[in-house]
A and B are shown apart, each in its own frame.
Chain A
Amino acid sequence: MLEAIAQRFRHLAGDVERWSLRLVDTHHEGLRVRQDVLQPPLNHRSTGAMVSVRQGGGNAYAATCDLSDRGLRECIEAALRWANAVRNRELANLETAPAPPQSAHYRSPVAQGWESWSLKHKVELLRHTCRSLKIGERIVDWEANLAHRRQQVLLTDSRGGRIEQEFHYLYPGLRATANQGTRTQYRSHGSGELACQGGLEQLERVGFTREARRVSEEALALLGAPDCPNARMDALLMPSQMILQIHESIGHPLELDRILGDERNYAGASFVTPEMFGTYRYGSELLNVTFEPGESEELAAYGYDDEGLRAETQTLIRDGILVRGLGGRVSQQRSALPGVACARASDWNRPPIDRMGNLNVEPGESTLEEMIAATEKGILLDTNRSWSIDDSRNKFQFGCEYARLIRNGELAGVVRNPNYRGLSATFWRNLRMVGDYESYRISGTPYCGKGEPNQMIHVGHAAPACLFGDVEVFSG
């Protein structure tokens, strides 16, 4: 279907100096059983076109969901109108953009397709899992949800480039809320961070059904737990919290468009400056961070970014030293810094900007048991609940759903409302131990917000558990 639209578009584009067309077709289905009641299933279909033009020295875009000849023609005219309006007033000159490849493909690996299970089968799975969450009267709200998104993208341009990509996303989630009086605690498994690429086979990997009872048991345990103590101590971040720590205090600060100032009015700038690349000690020498678009189960796996740049693995932080930023072709040109293929758009109705993609902390050599044993006074922090960081991505404060104290090398009691705060610029330098592949988990979030106009996009983060020294921990 997308190719047929592209063919009509090529004819309509006529004598436009230079154009590119990104067609996106998305089909989203969502199922949710809350308190054992199936909510109306979601069934969303969206197809649209993003047209970018360069004409007379001006660059602009127009996007439309009217894919008729009339709609495409009007879309081209709107883009040309804006290209004319911005001529001589643009911040960046894009004339040297390389041509995308003539023919390229990417597809998420899927072992068991979404359609291979009937609607009834999927609903039964959710009903069963939801019932497993209700383990007592004090569980006052409980739900199991599962969604799937198939997205086909065709990127083509006036120089004959043509890239086809097909993505399959799976979004599993469990949540239990426990209450007694005015005290409420909740525990989740997969409120976004278990989202991944692939098919229904991923449910087994993430333990969708078997984790239900644990989720509710931990919610109840939190209800009766004491408050997290206020003290400086070691913090052992599990992968479900590492995702947020990586995202906010490495991912965003390394985005070149933030460093270039594009986001200063909204998402913010960065404490990282251009001269830091190549020399700045971001973390201890145990810290290795990689941009890995080829990690196919992660949310932001892809073959090419939305400007047609081939996506390849790149090291961003090596042995603690900052070596490369997160910026697509335009930001690389503007900053004269190396970057990665990460110019991405949330949908057909938004232009590409710099996004994180899959941003991973490489595993180290310590087992989880070794890290606990090496901790005299500390806390294990699991599953992000609250996040806040300044506009330069330096002063942060994060909270978790669940925590256990560590005393003299052993896990101790559960504590509730754990929070910790620090500075990105020093926090990673206190990385004491990095977990091995045993604790390494693939996760991510579909909810990374940025850009003007705003864009919510998928990013992937994989990490092992990591131990940090001298962290300010406190109760909420």
Chain B
Amino acid sequence: MAEAQTSHAPDAVETYFRELADLLEAEREPDEQFLLNLSGEDTDFVRFNESRVRQAGHVRQIDVDIDLLCGEQHAAGRLNVSGELRTDWAALNQLLHKLRETRAAVGTDPYLNYARTVVDSYQHRRGGLPQPHRAIGDICAAAEGTDLVGVLASGSVYRAFANHLGQRNWHAADSFNFDWSCFAGNDRAVKARYAGARWRAEELRECMRQVSEALALVKREPRSLEPGRYRVYLSPAALYELVSLLCWGGFDLKAHECRLTPLLKLAMGERRFSSEITLYENNERAFTPAFTREGFAKPDKVTLIEQGRFVNTLNTARSAREYDREVNAGTGYPESLDMAGGQLPQNQALNVLGTGLYIGNLWYCNFSEQMDCRITGMTRFATFWVDQGRIVAPIGPMRFDDSLYRVLGENLIALTRERELIMDASSYHGRSTASARLPGAIVDDFRLTL
């Protein structure tokens, strides 16, 4: 297996980061402190439609964030850089000058909070990523005869932290995420993901074989469904869409303190989830950096909900200082979420479902009433009518509108024992490093509205 020959090896970026940290240390004034964050990637993107290449290319980007402090005075700036100090020095120097001006003008920052205890860390996951010809060849060969649409993102992602105390943290990982779907006509499709650190054509072919099997079901005569209440099986991917929305404000300390969290009633003991529901942030998975942007080491695990009861918020450095808590997260939303599995073997899920809906994916979820944790969204891709444990017909997109207090509460029948690891494929500005591991769920009385 030949690995990708990216023009800038991760080692060069690491060297740049360490030299930049040393340079800032040398340039800081005696009463100054600094925090330095680096975020970058070298990524190949190949976009497909109709099993052919729609757009293909490579993106190289490195951002550095510098927080320049003087006691409690604080100014922050971001610059994208070339990766060569000699080239970048003029712009960096200009930024430092600007930050000193700003810092003097804005006064003290009461919520400034950064790690005072030095905890270094180093993680560098090397993988086997495909070269351009190989990636396209493998995908086009595996997709032959199908209508495939989607995107391959493949490359290295870097995150790093340094400060004036000499702390140095480095996180780099090679990974790919091929996120695609195969269509058998309008609205009739199967979605799949192949993600990892080492590209293997045989694994891709096996994924494609499973998609082909599901596609045969999608091609059956569709069944129309009236709005109403249905017993459903939510696949891990479908459950992920619900839980992802819950993560926006569900666990953020500030959202709780400002009473804006959708889990306010849970946190105040007014509502409960099923005792089967346990959620935690699992930093041991280590796809995300082990450190925060302020240099705090993340705990291995933060339990968020345990047996249906709210346990912990995620406390970023600023919020922790504002509300006098311990820092336990880099962001207010989970990035390595785990939901505990249940007792139901996956291979018995359809039998336990009996008659109802198998929902492969949900999409475009949003709160219809945030304070009641009520969510609306659409079914999408492979959704089927199941009769006495057998898939009989595909179903077109249906809108649902239901409260998670019902879906994960009184109407939750079972969670599957097996869980699926889902790598976030989003790439706004840069590639996400988030992931989640979730079971499937059987739910009664799921409300379809349109």
Point out residues on A near B: beta carbons under 8 Å.
37-48, 60-68, 70-71, 74-75, 77-79, 81-82, 84-86, 89-92, 118-120, 123, 140-141, 177, 179, 182-184, 186, 260-262, 264-266, 268-269, 347, 349-351, 386-392, 395, 397, 399, 417, 419, 421, 449, 452-456, 475-476
Contacts and interface: CB of A to CB of B under 8 A. Distances in A.
Contact of B264 (A38, A74, A182, A454): A182
Interface stretch (B56-64, B119-127, B285-293, B297-305): B56-64
B76 A43 contact: yes
Nearest to A347: B429
A390 B76 contact: no
Which one of B55, B376, B397, B426 has the highest number of Cβ atoms from chain A below 10 Å of its Cβ? Answer: B55
Contacts of B250: none
Interface in B248-264: 258-260, 264
B150 A265 contact: yes
Contacts of A75: 58, 60
Interface in B329-384: 363-372, 374, 376-378, 380
Interface string B436-450: 000000000000011
21 contacts: A40-B74, A45-B77, A47-B80, A64-B61, A65-B62, A66-B83, A66-B84, A82-B58, A90-B54, A141-B258, A260-B49, A261-B149, A265-B150, A388-B376, A389-B378, A390-B363, A390-B364, A391-B378, A399-B368, A419-B368, A452-B150
Given A38-B106, A44-B77, A264-B189, A397 B53 contact: no
Contact of A388 (B60, B84, B270, B377): B377
B181 A264 contact: yes
A183 B371 contact: yes
Nearest to B427: A453
B133 A85 contact: yes
Nearest to A79: B57
A180 to B, nearest CB: 9
Q: What 4 pairs between A and B have smallest CB-CB spacing?
A: A476-B369, A61-B57, A452-B151, A85-B132
A260 B147 CA distance: 13
**Residue picked from A39, A70, A85, A417, most chain B C-beta under 10 Å:** A85
B136 A89 contact: yes
A421 B366 contact: no
Interface in B79-118: 79-84, 87, 91, 95, 98-99, 102, 105-107, 109-112
A177 B191 CA distance: 39
Interface string B138-165: 0010000000011101000000000000
Contact of A43 (B58, B61, B75, B136): B75
Given A66-B82, A388-B365, A89 B258 contact: no
B59 A397 contact: no
B106 A91 contact: no
Interface residues of B, number: 93
B102 A63 contact: no
Contacts of B62: 65
A86 B54 CA distance: 9
Given A62-B59, A456-B428, A41 B102 contact: yes
A460 B62 CA distance: 30
A179 B151 CA distance: 43
A455 B57 contact: no
Interface string B398-440: 0101000000000000000000000000111100000000000
A182 B95 contact: no
Nearest to B371: A184
A233 B273 CA distance: 35
B450 A395 contact: yes
A89 B52 contact: yes
B58 A62 contact: yes
B74 A456 contact: no
Nearest to A52: B57
A177 B258 contact: yes
B183 interface: yes
Given A60-B57, A90-B52, A386-B366, A41 B259 contact: no
B367 A91 contact: no
Contacts of B377: 388
Interface string B185-216: 01101010000000000000000000000000
Nearest to A185: B371
B186 A269 contact: yes
A397 B87 CA distance: 51
Contact of A262 (B49, B112, B367): B49
A351 B450 contact: no
B78 interface: yes
Contact of A48 (B46, B61, B369): B61
Contacts of B363: 268, 390-391
Contacts of A45: 77-80, 91, 95
Given A39-B109, A43-B76, 9 more contacts: A40-B74, A40-B112, A44-B77, A86-B46, A140-B258, A182-B270, A269-B187, A392-B397, A476-B367
Contacts of B450: 395, 397, 421
A168 to B, nearest CB: 19
Contacts of B77: 43-45
B180 interface: yes
Contacts of B49: 91, 260-262, 264
